[in-house]
């Protein structure tokens, strides 16, 4: 059983890594244009906080180093993304972005880690840390829900790429299986929800992939989409 859990965890690491790398095209565009345009940094800031907390969970709970490794990689990618934002964002927004990073990724994450480390012990500490991770992971659900809303509104899957949707489904599925095999309910909850959202997205893809929406509607939605979170349900990778 232990070897099976390890293999599933390694596969989960690989798929989660690909999900974490999925915004590279967006950031290449930002670098080329030397502007963040209307893209928001908030999803990446929240994903970084979530990854930091899951790293702590993976370190705190015995035999959970695979959770720590993938979230360590995830945290590294989010730091790079946020640094790119800070370089190319407008001066007025740069200070606000830096403040959010300080409050959430440094202040709130550090407070949660220090409190649970010094005030709690044993299984209670593990459960509380896992619960905090689940709560922070809930914020990542806005991404697939926003994509699904767009598909229904435009009757087009243009803004919900198949490969990204499928990889998100696999990510949630492998980590849900890992949670079942490892009997880790706290890992299973967010990834189980992500897996169900992935199924719902694929169903929508099957329904609307042949539709051709009116160009005017699509153009209007495309302008508004740049304010939607761009990180997939990976930020709830665990």
DSSP string for residues in 18-51: HHHHTTHHHHHHHHHHTS-TT--SHHHHHHHHHH
Task: Report the pLDDT averaged over residues 176-192.
Answer: 91
Q: How far is CA 89 from the centre of its chain?
A: 22
Helix/strand/coil for 213: coil
pLDDT at 166: 83
Taking the CA atoms of residue 94, residue 95, residue 100 and residue 101 in that order, the dihedral angle to the nearest 10 degrees is 70
Task: Give ranges for CATH 1.20.1280 in the chain.
Answer: 140-225
Q: pLDDT tens, 34-44? A: 998 877 788 88
8-22, 145-159, 224-238: least confidently modelled range: 224-238
**CATH class of the domain defined by 140-225:** mainly alpha
Task: Report the pLDDT averaged over residues 128-141.
Answer: 85
φ, ψ at 38 (rounded to 5°):
-105, 10
Q: pLDDT tens, 217-234? A: 444 444 444 444 433 344
Task: Report the pLDDT averaged over residues 200-212.
Answer: 84
Residue 232 CA to residue 151 CA, distance in Å, equals 15
Q: pLDDT tens, 75-121? A: 999 999 999 999 999 888 899 999 999 999 999 999 999 999 999 99
Instruction: Kindly tell me if the per-residue pLDDT of 165 is higher than 90.
Output: no
């Amino acid at each position: 059983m232990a070897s099976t859990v390890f293999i599933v965890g390694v596969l989960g690491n690989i798929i989660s890594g690909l999900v974490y790398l999925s915004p590279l095209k967006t950031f290449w565009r930002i670098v080329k244009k030397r502007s963040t345009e209307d893209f928001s940094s908030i999803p990446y800031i929240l994903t970084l906080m979530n990854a930091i907390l899951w790293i702590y969970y993976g370190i705190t709970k015995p035999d959970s180093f695979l959770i720590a490794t993938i979230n360590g990689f995830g945290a590294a990618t989010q730091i790079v993304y946020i640094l790119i934002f800070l370089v190319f964002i407008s001066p007025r927004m740069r200070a606000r972005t830096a403040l959010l990073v300080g409050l959430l990724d440094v202040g709130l994450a550090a407070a949660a880690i220090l409190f649970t480390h010094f005030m709690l012990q044993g299984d209670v500490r593990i459960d509380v840390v896992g619960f905090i991770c689940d709560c922070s992971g809930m914020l990542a659900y806005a991404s697939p829900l926003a994509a699904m809303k767009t598909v229904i509104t435009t009757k087009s899957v243009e803004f919900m790429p198949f490969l990204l949707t499928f990889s998100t489904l696999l990510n949630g599925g492998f980590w849900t299986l890992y949670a079942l095999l490892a009997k880790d309910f706290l890992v299973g909850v967010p990834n189980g929800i992500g897996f169900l959202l992935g199924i719902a997205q694929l169903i929508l893809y099957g329904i609307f992939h042949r539709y051709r929406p009116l160009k005017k509607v699509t153009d209007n939605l495309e302008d508004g989409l740049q304010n939607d979170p761009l990180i997939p349900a990976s930020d709830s990778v665990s």
